[in-house]
Amino acid sequence: MTEYGKQLTVTETPIPGLIVFDLPVHGDARGWFKENWQREKMTALGLADFGPVQNNISFNDAVGTTRGIHAEPWDKWVSVATGRIFGAWVDLREGPTFGAMYTTELDPSKAIFVPRGVGNSYQTLEADTAYTYLVNDHWSPNAAYSFLNLADETAGIDWPIPLDQVEISEKDKNHPRLAEVTPIPPKKILIIGSNGQLGRALRDQYGDVPHVEYTDRTTLDITAPGLEDARRWRDYDTIINAAAYTKVDLAETPDGRRDAWAANVTGVTALARVATANNITLVHVSSDYVFDGTKHGAYTEDDALSPLGVYGQTKAAGDQIVTTVPRHYIIRTSWVIGDGNNFVRTMSNLAERGINPKVVGDQTGRLTFTGDIARGIHHLLHTNAEYGTYNLTGSGEPHTWADIARHVFELTGHDPGRITDVTTDQYFAGATTPIAPRPTNSILDLNKIEATGFEVIGSEEVALFGATSQLRPRDVRS
């Protein structure tokens, strides 16, 4: 008999993500009423906002009707409208809990959230049982499904009514035992722009695993029409956009302006649409150029955008678009140093060649190593940090470009006095092509990302890496 008057509560199970909900049911002589699915209340208790798109009902005439065990690549919200079932769930996902089993009874006062890849089955304990479930994807012949035999000895489900006495489909009778089951793989991570400096750092961070997919413009052009149909996007959990137009001076030309808007705005808009429609987390890398650099002190994530040039304007526009995605991280960084040609290595080479450079001394900021951006992205995703914008740069005292150049000279055994400070205007005096305006203050406040437990490496270690070509990032973190 359905229990009335319970409070809405949750119970964790041994299977990660499989959560049982006790539902308040209100009844009288006329019958009963319940809120079977109430997004605001249930997400407040920790349930993911899984975005159901379809509601199905399975009606069962007789006691003992037995169905399953089926694992699909979508999440389910399972409940009973009338009657009562014995439910059994087996984790068929790749990972350490593969094969874990959980059972419970469901009546109209209970529901269970079944995460993607967990096998679902039930046996009716009352006649005329209506079993109902919400799912957050539509059935597709191209999706990955997995099945387990109801009588599997490893799972060892103690069915209330023996399986040889109940109605079971021939398909369910012939499903494989656990040892032959194909596990459901995790949702994919798509890294766009994987051949750039940040993209290579993300390759180092995530490695060569089947559920991480790397693309560049030759394999996925986010500015081309048809992005919505370029993948089966419901198979993806995260998109990391490491692609961007970053030629700040060329962006001031007619061709560069067009290309900057295409990559940094049009392409990002298409990604935002895909992420929103498919409940994907979108990670987007931003820039200190969204600010004009006139603030006294470090910029926080909440400061108003005020870009100076075309590049900054396109990055600011892209940021605003990404904020419309329910699950998003905007990583705002500055003065990026990656594997390959960069400012620090250039200064090291000039020092070795005996050249005494003139270096800009009226712009202030912190260097940021691409490996730390990749590490920060992984940290935010892995810890399920609150969605939003995070500043991520090197730590330590801010410096000018000229200060950093002197530091590189000193680290490589050369006289830092060989560096001459000049203003930005002096540096670009006589230029025959358009020059983008630069923010003079590029200092970003790091309190928000540090509060998530992320440790930022200081500028000195980054400079040491860049100046010494034999060192890799891991060599300067000890």
- The residue from 122, 131, 133, 329 that is catalytic is 133
Contact 186, 206 (CB under 8 A): no
Spell out the SS3 assignment of 284-348: EEEEHHHCCCCCCCCECCCCCCCCCCHHHHHHHHHHHHHCCCCCEEEEEECCEECCCCCHHHHHH
Cβ count within 10 A of residue 289? 27
- Half-sphere exposure (Cβ direction) of 312: Cα atoms closer than 13 Å: 17
Active-site residue flag, 70? yes
Contact 467, 348 (CB under 8 A): yes
Looking at this protein, which amino acid is placed at residue 186? P
Contact 330, 344 (CB under 8 A): no
The radius of gyration computed from the CA coordinates of the chain, to the nearest angstrom, equals 28
Cβ count within 10 A of residue 231? 17
Active-site residue flag, 407? no
Contact 227, 278 (CB under 8 A): no
Q: How far, in Å, CA of 74 to CA of 116, rounded?
A: 4
Nearest to 81 by CA among 32, 122, 115, 42: 32
DSSP H helices, 117-266, are: 170-173, 197-206, 254-261
Contact 399, 407 (CB under 8 A): yes
| Strand (E) or helix (H) holding 182 | none
3-class DSSP state of 246: coil
List the Cα angle 417/419/420 in 5-degree steps: 110
Q: How far is CA 21 from CA 122, 143, 189, in A?
A: 17, 28, 30
- The residue from 4, 70, 102, 145 that is catalytic is 70
Q: Strands, DSSP E only, in 140-186?
A: 146-147
Contact 119, 71 (CB under 8 A): yes
* Omega within 30 of 0 (cis) for the link into 184: no
Q: How far, in Å, CA of 289 to CA of 252, rounded?
A: 14
Nearest to 394 by CA among 326, 443, 339, 434: 443
The set of catalytic residues is: 70, 133
